[in-house]
């Protein structure tokens, strides 16, 4: 299964939001390897470890940061899920703030590379 197969299984609004988030991740973390995680129904990203996933769902898309509880959250937008993860949930395309999400993805990628964050964008 490839990304298009995964996204074509969702309605157009969800697929459009997932594609927009995919573009943000591709710009913010161009060295990240992208892989479809069929069992989870997600698009996963890794540099050193799996650090991020785009999870299209029936009526929304989640951007899941695997070690989100370790990341700075200057805008107070991360929702903690479990002991390590944090998510952003998007229900409408206009909720995706390219610059804001880019900062969060860059921080997550930097944490994955180095185990710490040198700067908060």
Average pLDDT over residues 15-27: 97
Average pLDDT over residues 36-46: 95
Question: For residues 117 and 111, is the Cβ–Cβ distance under 8 A?
Answer: yes
Q: What pLDDT does residue 114 have? A: 83
Residue range 46-100, pLDDT digits in tens: 999 999 999 999 999 999 999 998 899 999 999 988 789 999 999 999 999 999 9
Percentage of the chain exceeding pLDDT 70: 95
Q: What pLDDT does residue 81 have? A: 80
Beta bridge partners of 62: 55, 89
Please say whether the structural domain 3-114 has been given the CATH code 3.90.1150.
Answer: yes
109 to 16, 55, 72, 92, 99: CA distances (angstroms): 23, 18, 13, 25, 15
């Amino acid at each position: 299964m490839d990304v298009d197969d995964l996204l074509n299984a969702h309605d157009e609004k969800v697929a459009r939001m997932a594609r927009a988030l995919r573009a943000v991740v591709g710009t913010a973390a161009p060295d990240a390897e992208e892989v479809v995680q069929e069992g989870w129904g997600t698009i996963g990203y890794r540099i050193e470890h799996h650090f991020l996933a785009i999870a299209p769902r029936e009526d929304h898309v989640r951007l899941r940061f695997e070690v989100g509880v370790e990341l700075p959250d200057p805008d107070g937008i991360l929702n903690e899920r479990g002991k390590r993860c944090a998510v952003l949930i998007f229900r409408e395309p206009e909720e995706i703030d390219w610059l804001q999400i880019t900062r969060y993805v860059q921080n997550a990628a930097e944490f994955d590379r180095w185990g710490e964050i040198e700067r908060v964008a």
